[in-house]
Amino acid sequence: MIRRNARIRLTEADRDMMRAAGRFNAELLDVVRPSVKPGVTTEQLDKIVHDYTLDHGHIPACLGYAGDAGAFPKSCCVSVNDVICHGIPGPYELKPGDIANVDLTTIVDGWHGDQSETFLIGESSDISQEAREVTQCAFDCLYLAIEAITPGCRISVIGETIVDYVQRNYGFGIVDKYVGHGIGTKFHQRPNIPHVPSAQSHRDRLHPGMCFTIEPMINGGTARSLVDQRDGWTVRTRDGRLSAQFEHTILMTEDGPEILTTTQDGPQSGFQF
């Protein structure tokens, strides 16, 4: 749900608050990262997120977040294999050859930091070619989109960059139903950040002071999805193929985009999976 009653262009003081929220969120992902491995349940990952966030006096934004299906029951999303997004942590035990996206959002002094990363589970020999390629594609799309945007540019630059790269190199499905979003004192606010061009994204621009997420979701097959009717949250690929996603919170400054959720231990631009 996009909130319309939040400040869209941030003051200098607001920007510093968002930087602090992004730093903590990145720190949290670094804490979680060593545990994303075979034999660990997605619920155990959620407990790490929940406990570390509360121990530092902050709030897990996902816990109790109300959507069409009711309140989200966990403190983070963990989406495994064919799950595109909104995977609910539970008893599933990660296995060699899986891919798993961990999506974290925290509220720090009233401001939101948001990011996600897809992990290849197990040794290199455990990972299929499709798993490696769909993960690499999603990762590259995130950084190519960040590199393409400039102060005042049309939001459609993001979708145009991603579509061009995916079509030229992979032919994978680009999810268009779920998008990035403005972020600040609200989890989801204006503007929408689609990963394919849209009529609205041709009109909207990214001005200095705007904070938003870019979070391309790339499917190994069709871009189409379906929501699990049992929980109302889990979004899967319609054909059962793999899906990968990466996300950063971005602040557009007068000099260009600033990534607020860069981790010390995670993959950086140019990384090869």
Q: Are 103 and 91 in contact (CB under 8 A)?
A: no
pLDDT at residue 7 is higher than 70 = no
**Could you state, in order of their start, the residue ranges of all structural domains in the chain?**
12-259
Residues 6+ apart with CB under 8 A from 263: 26, 27, 29, 30, 33, 117
* Predicted pLDDT at 2: 46
Q: What is the pLDDT of residue 6?
A: 60
Instruction: Specify the DSSP class assigned to residue 10.
Output: P
pLDDT at 11 over 80: yes
pLDDT at 5 > cutoff 70: no
Question: Does residue 167 carry a pLDDT above 50?
Answer: yes
- Is the pLDDT at 1 greater than 50? The verdict is no
Q: What is the pLDDT of residues 69-85, one digit of tens each?
A: 689 999 999 999 999 99
**Residue 66, pLDDT score:** 86
The proportion of the chain whose per-residue pLDDT surpasses 90, expressed as a percent, equals 95
For residue range 88-131, list pLDDT tens digits in order. 999 999 999 999 999 999 999 999 999 999 999 999 999 999 99
Over residues 198-227, the pLDDT tens digits come to 999 999 999 999 999 999 999 999 999 999
Look up tokens 């994303």; give the residue: 36
Asked if 29 and 263 count as a contact pair (C-beta separation under 8 A), the reply is yes
Residue bearing tokens 């816990």 = 63
Q: How far apart are CA 267 and CA 273, in angstroms?
A: 9
Positive or negative, the CA dihedral 47, 53, 58, 60 is: negative
Helices (H), the chain: 12-32, 42-55, 129-148, 156-169, 199-203
CATH topology of domain 12-259: Creatine Amidinohydrolase (3.90.230)
